[in-house]
Chains A and B, each alone.
Chain A
Amino acid sequence: MSSEFQSSQPIYMQIVDRIIIDILQEKQSLGGKMPSVREMAIKMGVNPNTIQRAYSELERMDIVETRRGQGTFVLENDDLLDQLRDSMQKEFIENYVQKMKEIGASNQQMISQLKRYLKEDE
């Protein structure tokens, strides 16, 4: 398959995340036109109904809008990038904290380990 998906999360939500990352990396420009549902389905190798659902979710999140007869466009909203980056970061931190809790790490350890890791990485 063209894309690999994790087993637990709905596929349409994983596609939403990928599109948001594309926007953050400026692969998909603000104000730009998104591929049609069919094109995106072919590109990702997934069911068009799943892509439609992802687009609807992005619309609900005020990230894209569908213009009748023209297609789906990323909103040209200056705050949007910041908002998306912020919420994505929160999500990753949540994951980190949850995993650390699962193996019994304290808040202190989470912070000190992260600091140590960042230092090593420099």
Chain B
Amino acid sequence: MSILSIRNVVKKYSNHVAVDNVSFEIPKGRIFGMLGPNGAGKTSLIRMITSITRADEGEIILDGEKLNASHPMQIGYLPEERGLYKKMKVGEQLLYLARLKGLSQKEAQSKVDNWLEKFDITDWWSKKVGELSKGMQQKIQFIATVVHDPKLIILDEPFSGLDPINTNLIKDEINAMNNNGTSVIFSTHRMEQVEQICEEIVLMNQGKIILHGDVNQIKSENKENKFEIEFDGSFPSDMLADSFEIVEDTSKSLIIQVKEGHNSNDLLRGLLDRNIEIKSYREVLPTLNEIFIKKVGESNE
């Protein structure tokens, strides 16, 4: 069952196509990464999911229903371009934003209280937002995003401006909510975060999806036959020729590229035959960052 189905969605602006016939499914209860360089169409797509704009073509289905007026209440959206009323008090502001999401005064009050307690910031209630530091404001912004217990949370660069401690705090909350069944869409171009957090990703470029799937699977699909070997002595030069190539040489280990027509066993066998003592041996999988750069580069050509 998908929490979200994007089906043949197109969004055109006067001079360009922002989202070009995009389709994918986001399974329920997953942390889903939406990646892509600036201008790839991520924000345009998110704005359609949050009903800020409408798709020109195609349809978006949230939890089995076509997008309708009740859906914005079930989504928590933390935009990349975000902010709060600087002159409004923290408590009043959170109450207001919670009530705009359809909570009653009473519900809103108790939920806001809960969150402030959770973050141990109950004494901020009557502080003005403008008096808080940027990181503190980010925390308030996060609470505002999730205060109404949405089914789906969309976070656009949620950790920008946060220090490592607060990053972890928010990360833990995201994971906790995810464990309780909340689906999360995580949009960023910080790849190391995606690798840590996301189970599944789509990679967008120029309005199209150029990669979609499970993070581990994508990594193994994109492996380049590179192996890291730690051993004593130097690499036998007679082995290099047309079969292997040293890609990287650090003082401790070598990264070897196995060329077409050969496999890792050939590499191991060659080394064993020459009586070289191997200390460690592992396959080097590409980082998402490398895949990202490579794929975006390919699709731009």
Asked if chains A and B come from one complex, the reply is no
Q: Which residues of A contact B (CB under 8 A)?
A: none
